[in-house]
Amino acid sequence: MGVGGLAMHQWAFETKTFRQMHGKEGGGTGVDEEFAARSFENVGAWILGRNMFGPLRGSWGDESWKGWWGDTPPYHVPVFVLTHYERPPLEMNGGTTFYFVKDGIEDAAKQAAAAAGGKDVRVGGGVSTIQQYLRAGVIDEMHLVVSPVMLGAGEKFWNLDMVKLGFRVTQHVMSERVMHLVMEKKR
């Protein structure tokens, strides 16, 4: 997420949806909560890049790392993690099983679509993973959040010509903390 990257997600950490996912009470309502809740509707599978699963590089080693989220990840559906190294599926509490895919973005997309059973497949990042799927032309809609924080080093997301890729902004909503943008591919 780059240096200081967690600050750009502060809006989400305080929503009712996020707090419930982590076994906490309370949480904000309003625009940010609406977008947070909406992001988990009709999702049948996720695709993540290796960095979104964990900070490990190279081979998996002893495979003790099970993700950033503890024993109960927030996904509750199958998750396909792009990697260059084999690892057996990892079944977690709450209905999440991580499958580690070595054969590229197309294979991960096929597996995720089959597992989703007609529901949406969500590409959760990171930057490189999202850019690969955008270039492949398989993302139909994106929810982007513009957060007023300064970041240090990290990957640049905006090095793609979104207009050339066929996207347009279909919704933009300001909250007290951030601006939510929904971009859809022209049909």
Residue of 8 and 103 predicted with greater confidence: 103
Contacts within 8 Å (CB) and 24+ apart, 15-18: none
Residue 158 predicted with pLDDT over 90: no
Q: What is the pLDDT of residue 86?
A: 92
Task: Calculate mean pLDDT across residues 59-75.
Answer: 83
Residue 120 predicted with pLDDT over 90: yes
Q: What is the CATH number that goes with domain 5-55+65-185?
A: 3.40.430.10
Strand, coil or helix: what is 79?
Answer: strand
Residue 2 predicted with pLDDT over 70: no
| Res. 179 pLDDT band, cuts 50 70 90 | very high
| Res. 182 pLDDT band, cuts 50 70 90 | very high
Q: 134 is written with which tokens?
A: 């955008």
Average pLDDT, the chain: 91
Residue 16 predicted with pLDDT over 70: yes
Q: Could you state, in order of their start, the residue ranges of all structural domains in the chain?
A: 5-55+65-185
Do 90 and 73 contact (CB within 8 A), yes or no? no
Q: 163: exposed, middle or buried (C-beta count within 10 Å: 0-12, 13-18, 19+)?
A: exposed
pLDDT tens profile 19-50: 988 788 999 899 999 999 999 999 999 999 99
Selection from 4-8, 85-89, 147-151 with the highest mean pLDDT:
85-89
